Amino acid sequence: MTSILLVSPLRGSDFAREDLPPSDQGFRFPRALMPPLDLATIKALTPPDIEVDIWDESIRGSIDDATDLGKDYDLLGVTAYMTHIPWAQEFARMAHRRGKPVLIGGPGVSGAPDRCRGLFDVVFIGEAEFTWPQFLQDWQQGKHRSEYRQVERPDVKRSPVPCWADFPEMAKDYLLAPVQTTRGCPFDCEFCDVIHLFGRQSRHKRVEIVLEEVANLERLGMRKVFFCDDNFIGEPKYARELVRALIPLNNSFERPLGYGTQLTLNVAKDDELLEWMADCNFGPVLIGVESPRKECLREANKPQNYNTDILADLRKIQSMGIAVRANMIVGFDHDDVDIFDEMFEFLQSSGVGNPGVSVLKAYPGTPLLARLLRDGRVIEIQDDHCTGPALAMTNIIPKQMTRVEMLRGAVELHKKLRDWDHFAERVKGMLACIERKPNRPLKGDAAPEQVKAFLKFVMTLEPKAQKVIFELFGETERRAPWMKELVGALILHQVGYVRNLPTLVSTFENRIALESSPGYEPVIIRTLPRVPPGFKNMMHRDAFPSTYRWILEGLDESSAVPEALILVWKDFLIRWGETFEKFEDYHLEHLRELCDRTIEQGNAGEFSNARINAQVDGLSAGQLRRLAGEVLVSVEQDLRGVPTNGGVAIQADAQEIVGH
């Protein structure tokens, strides 16, 4: 039997730091935030005649050359965000020293596949519902490829219920249980790579499958579920259907679960959905507020924020008893050195207990990266200077302040936000907003021993923190006693933020010291985007249908059509991307030549990658347009490793960001 070990890298979280109090001091913190949903789904996609084990480094420890893996695996695999790519590269070298082939997939790979090619034996680009089973079949037949790419976005209704067999102590080890209900987001924020990776059309699971996943996690002892969606209300009708169905399920549990998710600010416009979410025990929820400045929000293409009163919307959401975690960004073109004080005052008046603040980053595949590359405002961040919390990482040159001013302002903002008195002011503001008591059964309150353990833990904190905590619980008892558990969760998050603050400050200060040192000169990345502005629409209107028809008619195997189209359009943009303005006759002649050559290569068995599309013939006009967009995404990914006019290839060192 083939055996595979899939590894999830160490993922820093507020609940997995060595400097948090041990359990014998009164209150036990989970060891990590969430188990790896991606690998549990991959395991569920694996046929029973192949053995898959999962190793989460956050729980089982880091793997090195001396680590005993417990058995002699045939394959080692890793998943990675962009921040994990340097670690993953070293993991691949370690696997090869052990004589084992190594696989890699994940958002970091899909965002920058050129950083993984050649070092890993198999690279997975895109979503894996089709490509993972295809690889396993190829592997068992001794003919696997070096790369598997999903071109068409899978219907997530075909995604299986995750297999949690490798996590018998889930409730003890993790704070949150992950469930994904949808992929994709209908919005197009300039800085966000979600639609590049997962598209603008929201794809969702069947409601009954989501309910099954939630019930499974409740049986495993989990108390909090986080819906890991790009935008939970991306398809409002589906979100309403799901939440309505979730209410009776949640009320049937001996003790109802709590729920969190990511969504957009426009949820404030749907009173009924907010009431249902409150009745279902949602909160905190993550919302990408980004900035108090309308100019920044217009720049970022966030009409859902700049066309509304943000503070009023935040208060509306919290009036239902749903706490908000607002994600904020500094470094927009319309930000100057005054933004830090302005953002602090905004957040203090928002009632948001635990806001998150990051520095703007230009991600591969985003309009922001294309624009800043054209302006010469993207710098290369070397891996040895890119460790530490992702909140402190940035690869952009701001417009109205220096990078050092931006970094200094950000670190001071973090210090002010994590002050206990400032935290108390925000939580009291939230409590003052509450107007509605949720309609849900209050049963199964925290056991006396849990309360006693929590109080014992509080007494280990600094006196200022103790004073604030008891004040907040007193305020909660007076205003909204049903929210004591949620306020307790906000307090624990604050403890985590405060204890991680020295690491965050150190990361900022190290970067500031480097960029302030005599002789420091940033390496500016000058690669120009190869996909001209407006190219996608011109491509679909004037040329893509013809290339699709030529390829489909010429190839012996229709399953190779997506790969052939990627090769054709990649070669076309390498040749014409820098000078292209519109399609001329000579462009179409060149495309025909590229199609003929690619058809010949494909029929000769020279394609090296398996790129699978669920349907390649009989496409409607809408399906054809969608395929054109998906092909162009793949082309953009491939082009990142190809220098232009002697320039430096784009380096994908940006950090992952939470919230949209």
Listed in sequence order, the DSSP H helices in 320-402 are 339-348, 367-374
Domain 2-157 is of which CATH architecture?
3-Layer(aba) Sandwich (3.40)
Position 338 confidence tier, pLDDT thresholds 50, 70, 90 = very high
pLDDT-based confidence at residue 644 (cuts at 50, 70, 90): very low
> Could you tell me if 124 and 132 are in contact, meaning their C-beta atoms sit under 8 angstroms apart?
yes
Lowest mean pLDDT among 70-84, 181-195, 458-472, 474-488: 181-195
Q: State yes or no: pLDDT of 20 exceeds 50.
A: no
**Structure tokens that stand for 570 in this block:** 């990649």
179 strand-pairing partners = 227
Lookup result for tokens 């960004």: 329
CATH of domain 176-514: 3.80.30.20
Task: Locate all alpha helices (DSSP H) within 82-228, ordered by sequence.
Answer: 85-97, 107-111, 131-140, 170-173, 194-198, 207-219
From CA 242, how far away is CA 205, in angstroms rounded?
10
What residue has token string 């200077």? Answer: 385
**Poorest-pLDDT segment among 76-80, 130-134, 148-152, 653-657:** 653-657
Structure tokens at 24: 């014998």
Q: How confident is the model at residue 15 (pLDDT cuts 50, 70, 90)?
A: very low
> Per-residue pLDDT for 647 more than 60?
no
d(Cα 579, Cα 528) in Å, to the nearest integer? 12
Quote the CA–CA distance of 31 and 127 in Å, as a whole number: 28
Q: Which two tokens stand for residue 94?
A: 């370690």
Q: Please, which pLDDT band fits residue 530 given cuts at 50, 70 and 90?
A: confident
Residue 407, sorted as left (phi over 0), alpha (psi -120 to 50) or beta, turns out to be: alpha
213-248 residue pLDDT tens: 999 999 999 999 999 998 999 999 999 999 999 999
Sign of torsion over alpha carbons 624, 626, 632, 635 = negative
Instruction: Supply the DSSP symbol for 221.
Output: T
pLDDT band at 22 (very low <50, low <70, confident <90, very high): very low
Tell me which of 362-366, 394-398, 475-479 is least confident: 362-366
Q: What is the pLDDT of residue 11?
A: 65
Instruction: Measure CA 544 to chain center.
Output: 31
Residues in CB range of 466: below 8 A, 6 or more apart: 458, 459
> Which residues are bridge partners to 52 per DSSP?
4
Residues in the chain, overall count: 660
Q: What is the 3-state secondary structure (H, E, C) of 561-575?
A: HHHHHHHHHHHHHHH
Q: What are phi and psi of 294, to 5 degrees?
A: -60, -35
Please provide the average confidence, as pLDDT, over all residues in the chain.
Answer: 87
Q: Where are the domains of the chain?
A: 2-157, 176-514, 535-639
Cβ atoms within 10 Å of 120's Cβ, excluding its own: 26
Between 106 and 613, the more confident residue is 106
CA 264 to chain centre: 15
Q: How far apart are CA 653 and CA 369, in angstroms?
A: 12
Residue 158: what are its φ and ψ, rounded to 5°? -90, -5
Question: Do residues 359 and 330 make contact, with C-beta atoms less than 8 angstroms apart?
Answer: yes
Structure tokens at 249: 């399920």
Intra-chain end-to-end CA distance of the chain, in Å? 43
Torsions phi, psi for 103 (to 5 deg): -115, 155
CA distance 365 to 529: 10
The residue behind tokens 């991600």 is 363
pLDDT exceeds cutoff 50 at 652: no
The better pLDDT of the pair 291, 10 is held by 291
Residue 216's pLDDT is what?
A: 95
At residue 371, the pLDDT reads: 87
What percent of the chain shows pLDDT beyond 70? 90
Q: In the block, which residue shows the tokens 């469930």? A: 179
* pLDDT tens-place string over residues 493-519: 999 899 989 999 999 999 999 999 999
- Sole residue written with tokens 């604030």: 468
Question: CA–CA separation, 246 vs 482, rounded Å?
Answer: 20
Contact partners, residue 478, CB within 8 Å, separation at least 6: none
Cross-strand bridge partners of residue 599: none
Which of these ranges, 24-33, 36-45, 158-167, has the smallest mean pLDDT?
24-33
DSSP 72: -
Q: How far apart are CA 413 and CA 433, in angstroms?
A: 25
Token couple for 153:
């976005």
Centre a 10 Å sphere on the Cβ of residue 24 and count the other Cβ atoms it contains. 7
Higher-confidence residue of 112 and 263: namely: 263
Q: Phi and psi at residue 226, in whole multiples of 5°?
A: -115, 120
The pairing of strands 224-227 and 177-179 is: parallel
In this prediction, residues 171-188 reach a mean pLDDT of 91
Which structure tokens are listed for 200? 């603008």
pLDDT single digits (tens) 264-315: 999 999 999 999 999 999 989 999 999 999 999 999 999 999 999 999 999 9
In three state form, how does the secondary structure of 471-511 look? HHHHHHHHHCHHHHHHHHHHHHHHHHHHHHHHHHHHHHHHH
Spatial distance between the Cα atoms of 77 and 63, rounded to a whole number of angstroms: 12
For residues 231 and 252, give the distance between their C-alpha atoms in angstroms, rounded to a whole number. Answer: 27
pTM of the model: 0.83
| pLDDT of residue 482 exceeding 50 | yes
Q: Checking DSSP bridges between strand 609-612 and strand 356-359, what pairing results, if any?
A: unpaired
